[in-house]
Structure 1
């Protein structure tokens, strides 16, 4: 039986978003700190940490950059 998983383990999440497991752990522990990437939303079931695919997709979308250059075309303002 092949079940399409909705909740992913830390290891599966790491592969899915292309970030290390240590990033996930550290981001979870640090919360919202200045100049740090916020962890993707997670759930805890007992001691187990799980990530929902739809939350991961939204988190990835929220980090999409349309441009890395300033809108005026110059490098420095």
Structure 2
């Protein structure tokens, strides 16, 4: 998926996607030339890894 697709799926801005990618906080991505793409399985793995049961949980 593209950055725009990811932003829409996560209800985030494209700027958030860029910052998260730069900081290494977002889902894994693939660089194809100058294009950035996200694999669905990487996005789902990132969501699963960030699942919490409490707002105070680290």
Band of TM-score, shorter chain: 0.7 to 0.9
What residue number does 1:40 align with?
27
- Contact 1:17/1:56 (8 A) holds in 2: no
Q: How many pairs are equivalent?
A: 57
Q: Does 1:61 align with 2:48?
A: yes
Larger radius of gyration: 1
Structure 1, unmatched stretches of 5+, are: 1-7, 32-37, 71-77
Question: Which stretches of structure 1, 4 residues or more, deviate above 4 A after TM superposition?
Answer: none
Alpha-carbon deviation of 1:30? 2.5
Structure 2, unmatched stretches of 5+, are: none
CA distance in 1 between counterparts of 2:33 and 2:55 reads 41
CA distance in 2 between counterparts of 1:63 and 1:50 reads 20
Give the TM-score normalised by the residue count of structure 2: 0.83
